[in-house]
Amino acid sequence: MSSADHSSPESNQGAGKEILEEFNAKVGQKVEVETIDGFVTTGLLIPRYEHADSEYIVLKLKSGYNMGLKAGNIKRIRVVEAQASVPKVESHPIAKNSGKKNLLLFSTGGTIASRVDYRTGAVYPALSAQDLYAAIPELDDIASIDPEVVFSVFSENMGPKQWQLLSEKIVQRSNEKTPHGIVVMIGTDTLAYVSAALSFSMIGLGIPVVLVGAQRSTDRPSSDGALNLKAAATFAVESHMPGVFVAMHENENDDYIAVHSGVRVRKNHTSRRDAFESIDIPLVARIRENQITKNSAEEVKTRKISDSVKFKTKFEEKVSLVKFHPGFDLSILDYLKSDRKVKGIIIEGSGLGHVSSAAVARISELTKNGVFVGITSQCIWGHVDLNVYETGRDMINAGATPLENMIAETAFAKLSWALGNFDNIREIMLTNVVGEFTPRIPLSQD
Amino acid sequence: MSSADHSSPESNQGAGKEILEEFNAKVGQKVEVETIDGFVTTGLLIPRYEHADSEYIVLKLKSGYNMGLKAGNIKRIRVVEAQASVPKVESHPIAKNSGKKNLLLFSTGGTIASRVDYRTGAVYPALSAQDLYAAIPELDDIASIDPEVVFSVFSENMGPKQWQLLSEKIVQRSNEKTPHGIVVMIGTDTLAYVSAALSFSMIGLGIPVVLVGAQRSTDRPSSDGALNLKAAATFAVESHMPGVFVAMHENENDDYIAVHSGVRVRKNHTSRRDAFESIDIPLVARIRENQITKNSAEEVKTRKISDSVKFKTKFEEKVSLVKFHPGFDLSILDYLKSDRKVKGIIIEGSGLGHVSSAAVARISELTKNGVFVGITSQCIWGHVDLNVYETGRDMINAGATPLENMIAETAFAKLSWALGNFDNIREIMLTNVVGEFTPRIPLSQD
């Protein structure tokens, strides 16, 4: 996904093509369209994709989304702008050693470092950290920024291998530059997995590492990228909170940016700007303009972290995350063990962490063969508990390890990290290393 | 999981055993325990399970949860009740043909039809529909109830085979009895999958079918079972809304019971009584005592349902639900196709429904071989959209079918139903049969 899709403008054909010709409108132009029932909308005329109906024309709206309009329903088309302008990124000198705090800004790709190809409507990763820094000059008021492109991919293409590469790069550059804080720009699809992974691999760094993304690309008016990035930079250099965090919109307005714990955050909506939520805990902080308000209920926990877990940047690839479901094909577990030689599996059980009774024997086979089996819940919120029902107790006897209320994504990343760096996997998985477990709600109220 | 775990009371040994002997307390008794730091708690003394530490004694608290107390920290134990009373279920004559509305009450197992074995602390499915009806005499004021046990399992052991059995049983008994409404008692672990399954297989029944469960067994003071069941029965006979619904606590208080659409509901907490939430839509109704308040914004949609989808009660077992994750092992898709001969797969993609670029070729292989591949999002809330990014468009070209905002659990159940009864799978999956899709948020606001 590192190149744009340059669909041919010729792909507007059929009735769609005819109506464009009738009103002398062309792909790439900003047009106003009125339908026969009086609906008026403005957008950028983009080509249909091959699979689309030739009866339609497609507009890219201000929101960034595409709208198909049936040719037969169109009353008129008016060209508003013959050639839609592409925002120009100005070159901007990068200030250094000006007495300001130092921030390392890493770019890995994703929407925040993307732009729309105005001819095709495709979003692709293109802006470098330098470009973004140049596009958002206010960053210069926040810190002295040292930008670097690590790679340029959408986050669904990042796995343990990329997590390790990114971790090693951050440690290496931090040693060279001794920054006050670090910001990592990343795609939102697997941002929460990566924030969990870095939460473990960055132990020992002693400074804030803030992951930030965007749900809309930066050249859209509705983009959340600039505000998220400024807040992330502010938190990185001003909060004095070591650890890994995620900074994204707290609501749909452009006012508050939420700071989440890197191990307790999840993307809970496909498209909203406030898609990210802290699970089972309050926000770490919120940011408005350059003001950081830390959550007073969440005082900075000075967790004792043993030297043995510091700067462990390896990630094991032979790990799986499996969601249990009704009629789940148990043989998948055997396949993962025998054919794929996985070293660990995180199971998203149902309810308190259950699998079917028939699955228990397979778990036993896995653990007898040295495969770590960790149990989380697909409910997302709340603690697993394998002591309430008989199935759960059977699962424990079969060697499964219940993982408190660690969210599945965090458990997966932690297991990859544990297997990459340690031998005492079960002990590591059951240790609350960086706040990946939170206390159970008091029993009397539950 | 159909039998109780009758652990031997002898399993209290070591320091735990000694302290019990010191204070002359026995398993099965209600005791008050004071620790050396002054913490006082009351509960039922239950045996430890084999894997537990012999240094501890275990109390089952009023909340239904177990608490381990280290023998060395215990100051004193006082026996409150020498033999804890087991609530007695009174025999209760079942009223029939009394002029009241007729309700069919099916029991399938789960916590709502469970009780705690007071000697062991184990929860097991035991109460029959008859027992429950007898235990909650107020049900008699709501309707003339015809109870029946279909089977007795925890819901994590229910799959497409049980969905089909249950569907056939409901249709058969409805034909015999012509009830005004139906209530199905079921375990909460996979309740949302089953409510989705029945939403499709019960089309044509024309009466309310209400699924109901409990997060605490009915012999606990904190049980939610009775209130949920009364509300479910009320909605079933009084709402006049055909369709499949779920009735569970709306909040942690014992006041409002929420009624959810059977295809838009999810268990979002492992243990809270209000664990079930409607996704992307408001509640269908709420119930307080015997008052039903329908959501006025959600007027009863008289959806046109073609006869061709009525009373289709078969479910295909060769279906899978797969969660995509970073470093996802693509060979699992090949294995499901070649070795397991699955006929359809629902993929929980990331973000707007993405998988890694490398996975696209595998999807193409699947669809070329006639395997249906439906795309949902692990974000849970919001619509998938494979038109925004290049990966998504590649997925469409590979034959994947994006499923709007159908939640993954519903998509899985619908696919099992579609494959069990029809040939035009893609058409069925893209048709909004019973409200499994809801409208997208208007583009301008998104």
SS3 readout for A95-132: CCCCCCCEEEEEECCCHHHEEECCCCCCEEECCCHHHH
- Cβ distance A379 to B268 less than 8 Å, yes or no, reads yes
- Cβ–Cβ < 8 Å for A212, A155: no
**Rounded distance, CA A427 to CA A406, Å?**
15
**A156, A355, A444: residue with CB nearest B354:** A156
Q: How many CB atoms lie within 10 A of CB A353?
A: 32
Closest C-alpha among B380, B377, B386, B371 to residue B351: B377
Amino acid code (one letter) for A308: S
To the nearest whole Å, the CA of B427 is away from the closest chain A CA by 16
Instruction: Provide the CB-side half-sphere exposure for B114 (13 A, CA).
Output: 34
- Return the bridge partners of A78, or none: A32
Where are chain B's structural domains?
Answer: 9-81, 102-307, 316-437
- Write out chain A residues lying below 8 Å of B410, CB-based: none
Task: Write the pLDDT tens digit of every residue in B161-188.
Answer: 999 999 999 999 999 999 999 999 999 9
What token pair was written down for B135? 């235990």
C-alpha–C-alpha distance, residues A432 and A434, integer Å = 6
Cβ–Cβ under 8 Å, residues A307 and A282: no
Look at A380 and B268 and tell me if their CB atoms are within 8 Å: yes
Contacts of A326 in chain B (CB under 8 A): 156, 158-160, 163, 190, 193-194, 412-413
Q: What is the pLDDT of residues B185-200, one digit of tens each?
A: 999 999 999 999 999 9
Choose the closest CB to A446 out of B271, B355, B356: B271
* Cβ-Cβ contacts under 8 Å, A163 against chain B: 326
Which residues are within 8 A (CB) of B434 and not within 5 positions of it... i.e. 6 or more apart? Answer: B199, B200, B203, B243, B244, B262, B263, B303, B305
Contact at CB, A156 and B355, closer than 8 angstroms: yes
| Residue position matching structure tokens 């969905």 | B163
Min distance A140 CA to chain B CA atoms (Å): 30
Of A49, A357, A396, the CB nearest to B387: A49
| Alpha carbons B215 and B219: distance in angstroms, whole number | 12
Nearest-neighbour CA in chain B from A161: distance (Å): 8
Cβ atoms of A187 and A213 closer than 8 Å: yes
Contact between A443 and B353 using a beta-carbon 8 Å cutoff: no
CA distance B401 to B208: 31
- DSSP H or E run through A256: strand A256-261
Mean pLDDT of residues grouped by 10 in chain A (446 residues)? 33 72 84 82 67 67 66 88 52 54 89 60 61 76 89 87 96 94 94 98 96 78 82 96 96 92 97 94 92 72 76 97 96 96 98 94 96 98 90 94 98 98 97 91 43
At the topology level, CATH places domain A316-443 in Rossmann fold (3.40.50)
pTM of this prediction? 0.79
Tokens of A284: 């770490």
Of A61, A156, A339, the CB nearest to B391: A156
CA torsion A361→A362→A364→A366, rounded to 10°?
Answer: 170
Token duo for residue A168? 């090693």
DSSP percent split of chain B into helix, strand, coil, nearest 5: 30, 25, 45
For residue B334 the two structure tokens come to 């090949």
Both tokens of B392, joined, read 């998504």
Q: Residue with structure tokens 């992951």?
A: A211
CB contact under 8 Å between A323 and B324, yes or no, is no
- Give the whole-angstrom CA distance, residue B320 versus residue B318: 7
With b meaning 16 or more CB within 10 Å and e meaning fewer, what string describes A398-421?
Answer: bbbbbbbbbbbbbbbbbbbbbbbb
Chain A residues within an 8 Å CB radius of B62: 444
Interchain proximity A160–B443, CB inside 8 Å: no
Element (H, E) at A40: strand A40-46
- Judged by CB atoms closer than 8 Å, whether chains meet at A275 and B159 is answered as no
The chain A residue lying nearest B315, using CA atoms, is A327
| Residues of A labelled catalytic | 111, 188-189, 267
Q: Which CATH number is A9-81 given? A: 2.30.30.520
- In angstroms, the CA B138 to CA B230 distance is 8
Q: What is the largest CA-CA distance in chain A?
A: 74
Partnered with residue B45 across adjacent β-strands are B59
Contact A67 B416 (CB under 8 A): no
Which of A155, A274, A379, A394 has the most B C-beta neighbours within 10 Å, making it the best mutation to test the interface with B?
Answer: A379
Q: Note the CATH number of domain B316-437.
A: 3.40.50.40
Do A4 and B267 make contact, defined as CB atoms within 8 angstroms?
no
Select the residue of A124, A269, A335 nearest B335 (Cβ to Cβ).
A335
Thinking of the domain B102-307, which architecture would CATH place it in? Answer: 3-Layer(aba) Sandwich (3.40)
**Domain A102-307 in the same topology as domain A9-81:** no
**Are B380 and A348 an interchain contact pair (Cβ–Cβ within 8 Å)?**
no
Please give the single-letter amino acid code of residue B329: D
Give dist(CA A325, CA B296) in Å, integer: 34
Pairing assessment for the beta strands A144-149 and A102-107 based on DSSP bridges: parallel
The residue ranges of chain B whose pLDDT is under 50 are: 1-12, 49-52, 85-97, 299-300, 443-446
Instruction: Give me the sign of the Cα torsion angle B260, B266, B267, B268.
Output: negative
**Separation CA A348–CA A372 (nearest Å):** 14
* Whole-number CA gyration radius for chain A: 25
**Between helices B357-368 and B390-397, what is the axis angle to 10°?**
20
**DSSP SS3 for B124:** strand
Please name the amino acid found at residue A372.
F
For tokens 């959806």, the residue is B303
CA distance A100 to chain B (A): 37
Chain B residues inside the 8 Å CB shell of A445? 63, 252
Which distant-in-sequence residues (6+ apart) come within 8 Å of A254 by Cβ? A224, A227
Q: What distance in Å separates residue A240's CA from the closest CA in chain B?
A: 31
Query: From CA B62, how far away is CA A446, in angstroms rounded?
Result: 10
Q: Nearest C-alpha of chain B: how many angstroms from A431?
A: 18
- Chain B hits for A320, Cβ within 8 Å: 329
SS3 category, A87: coil
DSSP string, B216-231: S-TTSTT--HHHHHHH
Decide: B270 and B182 in contact? Cβ < 8 Å. Answer: no
B317/A327 Cβ within 8 A: yes
Active site residues of B: 111, 188-189, 267
